[in-house]
Each structure stands twice: as C-alpha cells, then as structure tokens.
Amino acid sequence: MKAYLVALRAIVEREVLRFVAQRGRFVSALVRPLVWLLVFAAGFGSALGLSIIPPYNTYVTYEVYIVPGLCGMVQLFNGMQSSLSLVYDREMGSMRLLLTSPLPRWWLLFSKLAGGTAVSILQVYAFLAIAAAFGIVMPPAGYLLVLPVLCLTGLMLGALGLALSATIRQLENFAGVMNFVIFPAFFLSSALYPLWKMAESSTLLYRICAVNPFTHAVEAIRFALHGQANLPAIGWTLVAFVLFLGLALLGYDPTRGISRKRSAGG
Amino acid sequence: MSVFGLKLEHLSFGYGADPVLKDVSFTVERGNFCALLGPNGAGKTSLFSLLTRLATTSTGRIEIAGIDLGTSPRAALARMGIVFQQMTLDLDLTVRRNLSYYAALRGLSGRDAERRIDAALERLELGEKSSVRARDLNGGHRRRTEIARCLLHDPEILLLDEPTVGLDPASRAAITDHVHRLCADEALTVLWATHLVDEVRAEDDLVILHRGGVLAHDTARRIAGGQTVEKVFLDMTAVTS
C-alpha cells in the first residue's frame, strides 16, 4: 500500500511542479475565464434575464451566475490539456516510463488524473480569488465546500480527456479538441444560461444539455459554491467519471489499446 | 529457478495484416550480454514493446527471469530495467529528481531511495552531475542517467533499445563499456538492441533479426566464424533482402 501512495505523491508533485514552472500556461488558464467574466458577462448579462432559480434565493447578477460555469471551463480546459500532454508525453516517452512501472496501470492512470485535478483546482481558486477582487464574491463557506466537488469534477473531466487521448489519435491538435469537445460541452450546458432558457428555444437542445456531463459538473459546483449539495448532479458526475475512467483503462490496456495500433520503427 | 534470464518462444506480432515479428524464439542465459542486431525496420522496437508490455500478442510467450510476462506482468516488470530508444528524462528536473521520480514509480522512497540513487549515480560515474538539470547534460550523460535510473530497483534484466543512437563515438564507446561492465560485475542479463555492428563484442551472445525473423543466434565469435561480424551481418541481411 505504501508503494501506491509513494507513486501517487510523486506523480501529483510532478504535475504540480510542471504547471508552476510553466507560467504561460498559468496565465492563459486565468485569462480565459476572466475574459468571459469581465467582458462577455458585461455585454451578455444585460441581454439575458435571470429568474430566481435554485440554489439562488434572490436575484443574482449575471457575473455571479456564470462563475461556476467558468470554474467548470477551467477544469475542462485543464482536463483536455492534460490529455494532450499525455499524447505528447507518450511520444516523448515519459508515459512509457509510467506504464512500465510494476504498479497496476489503473492506479498509475488514476494518479495521473489526480495530478491534473490538483493543477485544475489551483487554477480554479486563483480564478475565484481574482473574481472576488473584482467584487464577484460567493458565500464564504462556499469556497470551502466547493473543494470536494472540484476534486470530483476535475477527475471526471480529466478522465474524459484521458479516454479521448487513449482512443482518438486525431486529438493531437488543440483546435480539434476545441471544436469537437470543449465548445460543444461548454455551450450545450448550463454554464452560460439556465437550462430553462434553452428549453424555451429548443427541446432537443435542452435534452442534450440535460444529459451533458459538463452540465452536471457545473451544477454541482454551483450548488456547492452556495453551500448546498446537489446530489443528483454529484451522482451524475460520479457516474460519468467511472464511465470515462473505464474507457480510458480500456484504451490503455496493452492487449487492445493504442500501443497496439501505433506502429513502431526499428 | 530458470537458468534463463530471458526466454522468448514463438513470438509473432503485427499491425493489422502486416507481420512485424514472425515466430521469434531465443533465450539469453542469466548474466549474459546479448546483442540484438538488426537493420532498421527489422522489428527490434516492436520486440521491445512486447518485452516491456507496451504491446501484447496472443501468439508466443515471454519469460523474464523465470516469470511469465503474460500471466504475471507486474512481477516481470519489477525485474526489468528499461532504457527506451527515445529519451524519457524530464528535462526540467535535475538528475537526482529524475531518479527519485522513477524510484517513486517503483514504490521506493525516503532513505532507501536516496541510498539507491547515490549508489546508481556512483556506478555510472555521475555523482557530480546529480544536481544538474537534465536539459544541461550532453547526450552521453543523459543516456548514462537513464541507465543509472533503470538500475535503482536492482533489476535482474536490462533491456536497452538502441541506447547509443545519436551519440558521438566516444560517448557510444563509454556507454557500451559501462553496460558490459555491469553485465560482468553484477551478473545482469542484458538485451542490447542495435544496428551498429561495432557495439558487439566477440564474446557477446548475438541474435540477428531481419524482417521480423531470427537469422542467427550464437556467440558473436561463432557467428562470425573467422570473419568480421560486420561482413557476416551484411551478407546475411543482403542475401535475404
């Protein structure tokens, strides 16, 4: 058991150290949601009327409404970036180092996910701190209560990235990930508008939004930030995590996975 | 206990319909240095993927220090030290941190890991480089760091896939010497894939791999039979080309 924890710690530490060393990645991880929060929300908020819906018990500004969605976006981007770094890592060989460790593969991949999640949580808290500096604050307890939810949502979005990296070779360029994963996940969710708004314009789109795991991640974060547990959303996020992790494990199984499909020279 | 460090039986492997390895069988006795010589595209790297379980095949069997890789992969992996053809160091970390990361992946930590790291650096004469970032090392030292790293958990078998690719002749000779010495001093079984004939010594075991099949397996001296290994190798691979 000790060996497992030693490996987990080393992998998480390595991910965090790498992230801290890459200042550019930190800055862009923060600029992205801040542009949405400070620019997009200013323009779009006035066009969108929000009604009082749970977990809010009063009218909230649009900025307050989209903070949880942007927390989710930070984690979504980070999950995809980690998956790309896996593809890159695999080319560079350090993934080979990981996969030839005698520890079980599921544990190694889980550790890798935990590392990516830790990085995404650092990003989310930095974002929340800057938002607070601009006067967009959540209830104080929310900042603490959101932590366990962020662990789960980070793992789920990381596992999605891992599953994609294991199965789809074309995802090596980020534009493809943006077009086919990040944008649909983000726009077909409750990140930018409540789902009842979507239902007014299209039932089909509403249904897609309602099954989108990213919607459930955002709602779990939203409720936690306001001191409440949205159990169905947490449950769906958990189910999605298990599903994506299962797909990722299949993808990295040497008897059927990508290592088999990839040709090697020499 | 098996006397074989490494045993391959009837391995076949391919991507789709293209066979890359065809019925490959050979054994390396415990404590021997075996050069796996083959031109580019012979299937050496595919064979390494199978040996390190990055890929698997349903035909054939691999035994590592007496352990079946197919049925007990983790126990087998625990006995291997691997140096891949592509460099796998984290360039932003120091030599020591690269080694401690690897140690942790094998469940080693604390004083035990530190002691092993010191010993491995010593063995590869890298003591003074321990706090240098991998990025600042030359190619030869990077390779040596990788070899030091793969010794941390006291493996019984070293697998090295073209470890001297891209190095200058002096570094190449130094690394080849180091690994031969390790093999002699510590009775490690070594499988050394290469396409460079000058890395093979007369007393080494030699497996010549060509187009996915084993053309010859014996000591290099016997395969050469009074000629140079290079001539025999070129003749063999030319005849079947």
> B165 and B223: one domain?
yes
pLDDT at residue number A257:
47
Total domains, chain A:
1
Contact call for A102 and B109, based on CB within 8 A: no
> From the CB of residue A203, how many other CB atoms can be counted at a distance below 10 Å?
10
Q: Are A258 and A169 within 8 A, CB to CB?
A: yes
> B71 and B164: one domain?
yes
Q: What is the pLDDT of residues A108-145, one digit of tens each?
A: 989 999 999 999 999 999 999 999 999 999 999 999 99
Contact call for B104 and A104, based on CB within 8 A: no
> B9 and B53: one domain?
yes
Option in A7, A102, A263 nearest B74 (CB): A102
Q: How far is CA B77 from CA A30, A64, A65, in A?
A: 41, 52, 51
Q: Are A150 and A225 within 8 A, CB to CB?
A: no
Segments forming the whole domain that contains residue B188: 1-79+158-241
Q: What is the pLDDT of residues B153-186, one digit of tens each?
A: 999 999 999 999 888 898 899 899 989 998 999 8
Q: Which amino acid is at B91?
A: L
> B172 and B74: one domain?
yes
Judged against a pLDDT cut of 70, whether residue B99 lies above it is answered with yes
CA B42 centroid distance within chain: 16
- Going by pLDDT thresholds of 50, 70 and 90, the confidence category of residue B187 is confident
Q: Which amino acid is at A126?
A: A
CA-CA distance, B169 to B161, in Å (whole number)? 17
> B222 and B131: one domain?
no
Chain B interface, best mutation among A2, A100, A105, by max B CB count within 10 A:
A100
Option in B20, B75, B77 nearest A100 (CB): B77
> B145 and B186: one domain?
no
Percentage of chain A surpassing pLDDT 90? 56
pLDDT at residue number A213:
96
pLDDT at residue number A229:
93
> B10 and B104: one domain?
no
pLDDT at residue number A265:
39
Write down the number of H helices and E strands in chain B.
Answer: 8, 10
Total domains, chain B:
2
> B102 and B197: one domain?
no
> B162 and B69: one domain?
yes
pLDDT at residue number A254:
72
- The sign of the torsion formed by the CA atoms of B168, B173, B178, B183 equals positive
Write down the number of H helices and E strands in chain A.
Answer: 14, 0
Q: What is the mean pLDDT of chain A?
A: 87
Higher pLDDT, A24 or B201: B201
Option in B15, B84, B93 nearest A96 (CB): B84
Nearest-5° Cα angle at B4, B230 to B194: 25
Q: Is B32 helix (H, G, I), strand (E, B) or coil?
A: coil
- Domain assignment of residue A188, yes or no: yes
CA A190 centroid distance within chain: 14
Contact call for A9 and B104, based on CB within 8 A: yes
Q: Interface pTM (ipTM) of the complex?
A: 0.85
- The sign of the torsion formed by the CA atoms of B74, B80, B86, B88 equals positive
> B149 and B162: one domain?
no
Q: What is the pLDDT of residues A175-185, one digit of tens each?
A: 777 778 889 99
What is the b/e burial string over A72-88, where b = at least 16 CB atoms within 10 angstroms of the residue's CB? bbbbbbbbbbbbbbbbe
- Going by pLDDT thresholds of 50, 70 and 90, the confidence category of residue A215 is very high
Contact call for A96 and B53, based on CB within 8 A: no
Option in A6, A92, A100 nearest B107 (CB): A6
Judged against a pLDDT cut of 80, whether residue B220 lies above it is answered with yes
Rounded to the nearest 10°, the torsion over CA A108, A113, A118, A121 is -170
Contact call for B105 and A261, based on CB within 8 A: no
- Domain assignment of residue A107, yes or no: yes
Segments forming the whole domain that contains residue A129: 2-253
Q: What is the largest CA-CA distance in chain A?
A: 66
Among candidate residues B128, B154, B180, the one where a domain is terminated: B154
Q: What is the pLDDT of residues B108-153, one digit of tens each?
A: 999 999 999 999 999 888 999 999 999 999 999 999 999 999 999 9
Q: What is the pLDDT of residues B6-58, one digit of tens each?
A: 999 999 998 777 889 999 999 999 999 999 999 988 999 899 999 999 888 88
Among candidate residues B154, B177, B195, the one where a domain is terminated: B154
Is residue B191 less than 8 Å (CB to CB) from chain A?
no
- Going by pLDDT thresholds of 50, 70 and 90, the confidence category of residue B210 is very high
pLDDT at residue number A264:
38
> B193 and B93: one domain?
no
Q: Are B6 and B25 within 8 A, CB to CB?
A: no
> B235 and B165: one domain?
yes
CA-CA distance, A145 to A149, in Å (whole number)? 7
- The sign of the torsion formed by the CA atoms of B50, B56, B62, B65 equals positive
- Domain assignment of residue A227, yes or no: yes
Provide, as residue numbers in chain A, all residues whose Cβ is less than 8 Å from the Cβ of B109: 2, 6
Burial degree of B11 (CB within 10 A; 0-12, 13-18, 19+): buried
CATH number at residue B229: 3.40.50.300
